[in-house]
Amino acid sequence: MEIEPFAVVFGTAVFALLGAWIYFRRYQLPRVPIGVMNLADIAVMVVAVVALPFLYLVLPIWLVGAFLFLTALSVLHALFQPAFQARWMVWLVALTLLLLDCLAAYRMGTAQNVFFAINDLVLILLTVGISNLWAQSGAKARDMALLGMALAIYDYLATARSPLMTTLIDRLATLPLAPVIAWTSGGATLSIGLGDLLLATVFPLVLRKAYGRTAGLIALALALCLIGVLLAFPSRTGFPVMLVLGPLTAVQYILSRWRRGPERTTKRYLLEETIHSSDKRRMRMRLTVFGRNRQAFPPVKWPVPPGVASPTKAHLGRPIRRHRSHGG
């Protein structure tokens, strides 16, 4: 195993998972264009995953490239909106990244590390954007576990039992925005598919929303360990990553459901996480007034989702004033 390809590809996966984790709590997407996800949406996604490879193999290559470009542009636009105040800055950064990817593919070719460096950066941002679109649109841990199991069966059939996935990757690898994170050194190329990285990234987010920060961190650590092991011992014929990643997500969900019960709703998650973090900040803060240390109660900013009524002042927990009793 070459150290350089492993370090780059695994490092890319680490940045993608940690970036999505940080973005999930720091930014709220202004408007989720896919609506609230449910089991029907998961079924549609499975059908799309099965049908898209055949379309990519049948459609003209320029049309496939245009579809990838427009899809990436829409995801990057949604990703950058909360980070940049000016709308022109959102479009400028998104278009610059995508045009650099296309230019590197045209001038250097899609088998050079210069292209891989730019393309891997774009794929990190796409992974952060898509995973947060799914997680912030109300996707449940149950839904992602079911999706993982369905993709495990499909990946086994399309990768291990047929040349479909290998043929698809060979065709998409000649395009800009190829959905494969890769690096080459000494004639050997190490890679991981964008779909595999997406499931590994989104599941810790939905598990955190469903069962808390600790459950999400455990899922994140397990996903990174699995990716690291598979990259350290690569298969020459291509190993279906979903065959292991899918059941791993299902086992984690079953254990969490058995220990903690039904998963939290998005509204309950936002309220409980906000209360927990604000209480910690209050315990650390002290304000000196007339030589006395008193607890500081900064105003709490509640991230209320669209369509949910704002909490009343009674929920904010004002400090109780003590009155002296007169008489007796």
pLDDT tens for the chain, 328 residues long, are 678 899 999 999 999 999 999 999 888 876 655 556 777 888 888 898 888 889 999 999 999 999 999 999 999 999 999 888 888 999 999 999 999 999 999 988 888 899 999 999 999 999 999 999 988 888 889 999 999 999 999 988 888 888 888 888 889 988 999 999 999 987 788 889 999 999 999 999 999 999 989 999 999 999 999 999 999 888 776 788 899 999 999 999 999 999 988 888 777 887 877 654 444 444 444 333 334 443 333 443 445 555 555 444 444 444 444 445 454 4
The position carrying tokens 């202004």 is: 30
Give Rg (Cα) of the chain: 23
**Cβ neighbours, 10 Å, residue 63:** 12
Residue 30 has a pLDDT of 67
Residue 269 has a pLDDT of 81
pTM: 0.80
Residue 192 has a pLDDT of 92
**Cβ neighbours, 10 Å, residue 178:** 23
259-268 residues labelled b (16+ CB within 10 A) or e (exposed): eeeebbebee
CA atoms within 13 A on the CB side of 83: 17
Helical (H) or strand (E) element with 34: none
Residue 202 has a pLDDT of 95
**Cβ neighbours, 10 Å, residue 228:** 15
Residue 15 has a pLDDT of 96
Decide the pairing of beta strands 292-295 and 180-185.
unpaired
Residue 205 has a pLDDT of 94
Residue 45 has a pLDDT of 86
Task: Judge whether 61 and 171 are in contact, CB under 8 Å.
Answer: yes
Residue 272 has a pLDDT of 76
